[in-house]
Amino acid sequence: MARMRAVDAAVLVLEKEGVSCAFGVPGAAINPFYAALKARGTVRHVLARHVEAASHMAEGYTRAKVGNIGLCIGTSGPAGTDMITGLYSASADSIPILCITGQAPRARLNKEDFQAVDIAAIAAPVTKWAVTVMEPYLVPMTLQKAFHLMRSSRPGPVLVDLPVDVQLAEIDFDIDAYEPLPVFKPAMTRIQAEKALAMLNGAEKPLIVAGGGIINADASDLLIEFAEIIGVPVVPTLMGWGTIPDDHRLMAGMCGLQTSHRYGNATMLAADFVFGIGNRWANRHTGSVETYTRGRKFIHVDIEPTQIGRVFAPDLGIVSDAGAALKMLLDVATEWKTAGKLRDWSGWAKECQQRKKTMKRKTHFDQVPLKPQRIYEEMNNAFGRDTTYVTTIGLSQIAGAQFLHVYKPRNWINCGQAGPLGWTLPAALGVRAARPDANIVALSGDYDFQFMIEELAAGAQHKLPYIHVVVNNAYLGLIRQAQRGFSMDYEVSLAFENVNTVGHAEVGYGVDHVAVAEAMGCKAVRVRRPEEFANAFAEAKRLMKEYQVPVVLEFILERVTNISMGTEIDNVTEFEELAEKNEDAPTAIVLLD
């Protein structure tokens, strides 16, 4: 037992729980905690330029590697409110991050003290737990509970708010007597697995929908083995992309209104049975429930009981961690296969493979300014199978999901439900901090890139190199496309005559991203023509390796390109076909929530 400040005990607990990296911004009310971090010297710290960015860095750090929990730190008042978007994003996608904030002294709470706000109340709806610690000895015990909650059942974020006098108070604490609490994960039983496989055996054209819960459970290998044993094609969700390699014979494509493949939607519409594992039936995947469920039976396996039946009632619901479920399903399926009790779906699987071969969207365009489809074609050629892509929202992300290829879990790191602009850049820095040797490529439209462009300086300062592909059409492209349903193009153009870009080929596009990147201590390459692709990708890789800083690779696009999307999975407008007929049918109005 030793006498120490509560914040010194907190840092010891963080070490014991496996935390080795933090992202944040110091300030008066959190300086005692920073003093404890400095004294121990065991936790690396990345100084963000915006506190919201610190929360997204923590997200990227968690998403990048099995077992990680990203830590973001801020002072009292606006630091905590700035991190609410990151907490919402993490909560929506079941990502555990720990947010620690400073707070005014206990005696000054509820007295409108400078930068004093009830951050626990504000954060409560977007966390698994948000608490202001009012007793010094509760600091290490609160963190123990926080880690237990973040890891147990459906993972998610926690906010711990520390009044400055609580941080400084001395307590008696013995770190050698501290142990992390056991993690609770519900598990599928054998009877449940047998019932599920019996239902599956009644189907003629079944599919497995593989969600992000499989990646959270580090169970992608089990998914592939299970799919191969039963011979059933797999449709990954956007959050589950990478659970099965894109070129696997049973990978049937993604389904949805936007981030989907033509063959994936066609296969879903042809199916009569869907086995969902670790997914949440997000609306961008399903479209309307009526269209998605018509003529199909469903099994839904999820770690959170209240997720089952939230969107629609399945024919069978099972509460289980995805990894535990797949292990039990694999055990039973292997026995049934040996005994000849499993149906043969090889004909259905070949039908799905044929759609995958023939129902592809066009990508090879030679126009100048560049068409975005060609960028993704070139990215597939330039970046290897082990590339980790990081992106959030917009036409850049939608087209990326339609045209890029992902072969491994955690190689598509995407903010799925919240989709905040600006997420990509800080998240990529968090991914780099977690995986120093990974090949990391971020993907942004010009507006997403501009939202938190200041974080390039954090990447340069802390030597966090990666390649950031920016597709620049000087438009809020997704919103512009949606506005067509209202016959308008209003306040979505980012173009202006920048007095500093006179003489550039892209004059009128507004912000000079190359100049900004270089001012932030990074490197940048601009691409305007198809013949420049090969050298540009090679140069970006060289610059990143040589200087160990983020490298911006900007592509100047045509101002207007419509990307395939629709109102239902059976009503997706394929714009390249319309372009060949010189038609311009209005796209669907898609509400992203």
Instruction: Tell me the pLDDT tens digit for each residue of 454-488.
Output: 999 999 999 999 999 999 887 776 777 777 778 77
Distance of CA 214 to the CA centre of its chain: 14
Where do runs of H (alpha helix) occur along 177-219?
A: 190-201, 212-216
In the predicted structure, residue 7 carries a pLDDT above the cut 70? yes
CATH architecture of 372-565+572-577: 3-Layer(aba) Sandwich (3.40)
pLDDT digits (tens, 9 = 90+) for 210-225: 999 999 999 999 999 9
In the predicted structure, residue 278 carries a pLDDT above the cut 70: yes
Note the pLDDT tens digit of each residue in 67-125: 999 999 999 999 999 999 999 999 999 999 999 999 999 888 777 777 779 999 999 99
Residues 538-590: tens digit of each pLDDT: 999 999 999 999 999 999 988 888 888 888 999 988 876 444 443 443 333 33
Question: Within a 10 A sphere around the Cβ of 315, how many other Cβ atoms?
Answer: 12
**Domains of the chain: which residue ranges?**
2-177, 190-358, 372-565+572-577
Cis peptide before 369 (omega within 30 of 0): yes
Q: Is the dihedral of CA 515, 516, 518, 523 positive or negative?
A: negative
**What DSSP character marks residue 557?**
B
Active site residue 25: yes
Specify the residue for token string 């011979």. 231
Q: Helices 262-270 and 346-358 sit at what angle, rounded to 10 degrees?
A: 150
Instruction: Assess whether pLDDT exceeds 90 at residue 498.
Output: no
Greater model confidence, 582 or 4? 4
Among the listed residues 19, 25, 330, 443, the single catalytic one is 25
pLDDT tens readout for residues 362-408 = 888 888 898 989 999 999 999 999 999 999 888 889 999 999 999 99
Q: Among the options 303, 370, 421, 431, which is catalytic?
A: 421
The residues, any chain, with a CB within 8 Å of residue 484's CB and separated by 6 or more, are: 586, 587
Which of the residue ranges 186-190, 290-294, 319-323, 472-476 would you say has the lowest mean pLDDT? Answer: 472-476
* Predicted confidence (pLDDT) at residue 591 exceeds the cutoff of 50: no
Closest C-alpha to 24, from 47, 2, 7 = 47
Average pLDDT, the chain: 91
What is the 8-class DSSP label of residue 306? G
Q: Is 51 a catalytic residue?
A: yes
Tokens standing for 147?
């880690």
Which is nearest to 7 in space by CA: 100, 78, 120, 77? 100
pLDDT at position 504, please? Answer: 64
What percent of the chain clears pLDDT 70, i.e. is strictly above it?
A: 95
Residues 25/74, Cβ–Cβ less than 8 Å: yes
pLDDT at residue 585 in the model: 38
Amino acid at residue number 502:
V
Select which of 175, 183, 311, 479 is catalytic.
479
* Catalytic residue flag (residue 301): no
Query: Chain centroid to CA 109: how far?
Result: 36
Collect contacts of 247-256 with beta carbons under 8 A, ≥24 apart: 247/405, 247/407, 248/224, 249/349, 249/353, 250/224, 250/349, 251/356, 252/207, 252/352, 252/355, 252/356, 253/355, 253/356, 254/285, 254/401, 255/209, 255/285, 255/569, 256/284, 256/285, 256/286, 256/287, 256/569
Residue in 11, 30, 51, 470 annotated catalytic: 51
87, 100, 208, 476: the catalytic one is 476
pLDDT tens string 576-587: 644 444 344 333
Mean pLDDT of the 39-55 span: 96
Collapsing DSSP to helix, strand or coil, 21 comes out as strand
Q: For residue 421, indicate whether it is catalytic.
A: yes
Which CATH code is given to the segment(s) 2-177?
Answer: 3.40.50.970
Asked if the model's pLDDT at residue 171 lies above 90, the reply is: yes
Tokens representing residue 366 in the block = 């030679």
- From the number of C-beta atoms within 10 Å of its C-beta (0-12, 13-18, 19+), residue 480 rates as buried
> What pLDDT score was predicted for residue 184?
95
Quick one: what percent of the chain has pLDDT higher than 90?
Answer: 77
Phi first, then psi, for residue 357 (nearest 5°) are: -75, -30
Fold (topology level) of 190-358: Rossmann fold (3.40.50)
Instruction: Give burial (CB, 10 Å; 0-12/13-18/19+) of 195.
Output: middle
The answer to whether 190-358 and 372-565+572-577 have equal CATH topology is yes
At 161, give phi and psi (nearest 5°): -105, 125
pLDDT at 33 over 70: yes
pLDDT band at 500 (very low <50, low <70, confident <90, very high): confident
- Position 506 pLDDT exceeds 70: no
Q: Among the residues of 65-189, which ranges form H helices?
A: 78-82, 84-92, 119-123, 138-151, 164-168
3-state secondary structure of 573: strand
Helix (H, G, I), strand (E, B) or coil at 209: strand
Q: Is the pLDDT confidence value at 6 over 90?
A: yes
DSSP 493: B
Confidence of residue 185 (pLDDT cuts 50, 70, 90): very high
Active site residue 476: yes
Q: What distance in Å separates the CA atoms of residue 505 and residue 10, rounded to the nearest whole number? A: 55
Give the chain's count of helices (H) and strands (E). Answer: 25, 21
Residue 508 has pLDDT above 90, yes or no: no
pLDDT of residue 592: 30
Task: Find all residues with CB under 8 Å of 272, minimum gap 6, and list them.
Answer: 203, 204, 205, 206, 295, 296, 297
Q: In this model, does residue 511 exceed pLDDT 90?
A: no
> Which residues are CB-contacts of 532 (< 8 A; sequence separation ≥ 6)?
none
